[in-house]
Amino acid sequence: MAEAIAAEQEREQLNTGTKAVAETHRFDEAALARWMEANVEGYAGPLEVRQFKGGQSNPTYQLITPNRKYVLRRKPPGKLLPSAHAVDREYKVITALGSTGFPVARTFGLCLDDAVIGTWFYVMDMVEGRILWDQTLPQYEPAERRAIFMAQTRTLADLHNTDYEAVGLGDYGKPGNYMGRQVDRWTRQYKASETVEIPEMNRLMEWLPTTVPPQERTSVVHGDYRLDNMIFHPTEPRVIAVLDWELSTLGEPLADFTYFLMNWIEGGLTHVPDLTAHGVPTIEETVAHYCELTGRSGLPDLNWYFAYNTFRLAGIIQGILGRVRDGTASSPHAAAMAPRVLSLAKTSWEYAQKAGARA
């Protein structure tokens, strides 16, 4: 428990606040100020630019003026894959959802002219509030913890209940066979990065694609819905902005919801000995609450989704190990993750067996 808390505290320190703009991410600030003056309602300089800490793949900046703070997200400089770092997609989904009252930052403008700062970018409001890094919420009382978790569930249900076609997102992704495509994607990534043969992963790669649950609903899916990707009101247990829409698309809402539930399966909540006493809703309570909010009678395929999510996580970590193998890993601790892949593979296969898989 102490090690897990220390790891979360270190992650918070590395990712919180701003720093001077990195040399590799600098741009013509005067050109940006001219663009802001012409395109952002109410903008008034002078302008100060800071860069947010953290490992965002799209460099993110704080824009400070005498009367207001803004956030700028841009494509990174350099040669990129055609579909990567699609800040225009982020801008589109945030703007569309904001029109419904869903908690996102207000957008002010999108620039597709590389001549301004070198890459595409968009500007949105700087939302002031709390980002909560430690899933166990050690700084709060049980009643506050429960309210925060209930707010997370309610906000996700609101996203999945949004009429995406009515807000102009009908073309935001492929609506069908989302889980089948996800299983194929992570299978290919795992195979490309494989360093040792794990029997459970082989079984999963055979079983998952043949047992994909039918997709009954389509919604906007966030793709990385977790506690530290949202901003809470400074004093109330209320989400005021959901962040980091880079992985969002149209797809199976249960992919989002069961990824959220991984907090109870593989995340920080596994270190809490008594969830109820701690104030955290159980998985069963959270599922019931989500089903009530989204008009479902239950989630019969939950074990399949748990098998998928742990398989996906194993694939993500194996991708890091593949970069160790190829000499391109950025973290000196990356090689130490190998036992985690084996553990996740075994956990995933256990859930697969609960869902009906046979050895």
Q: Which residue did the predictor score with more confidence, 96 or 17?
A: 96
**pTM of the predicted model as reported, rounded to 2 decimal places:** 0.89
Average pLDDT score over residue span 308-316: 94
- Predicted local distance difference test score (pLDDT) of residue 16: 67
The residue with tokens 């952002």 is 40
Average pLDDT score over residue span 183-197: 92
Long-range contacts of 3-11 (CB under 8 A, 24+ apart): 4/268, 4/271, 5/134, 5/136, 5/138, 8/133, 8/134, 8/135, 8/268, 9/133, 9/134, 11/133
Which of these ranges, 243-247, 274-278, 334-338, has the smallest mean pLDDT? 334-338
- Rounded to 5°, the CA angle 203-208-212 comes to 160
Q: Which residues contact 141 (CB under 8 A, 6 or more apart)?
A: 279
- Predicted local distance difference test score (pLDDT) of residue 335: 76
- Predicted local distance difference test score (pLDDT) of residue 140: 95
Q: What is the pLDDT of residues 231-240, one digit of tens each?
A: 999 999 999 9
Percent of the chain topping pLDDT 70: 91
**Domains, the chain:** 13-125 (3.30.200.20), 142-354 (3.90.1200.10)
| pLDDT at 7 > cutoff 60 | no
- Predicted local distance difference test score (pLDDT) of residue 8: 47
Task: Write down the H helix ranges in 194-301.
Answer: 199-207, 253-265, 275-278, 283-294
State the pLDDT confidence band at 257, using cuts at 50, 70 and 90.
very high
- Predicted local distance difference test score (pLDDT) of residue 83: 53
| pLDDT at 62 > cutoff 90 | yes
Quote the CA–CA distance of 22 and 281 in Å, as a whole number.
Answer: 42
Quote the CA–CA distance of 178 and 220 in Å, as a whole number.
Answer: 12
| pLDDT at 117 > cutoff 60 | yes
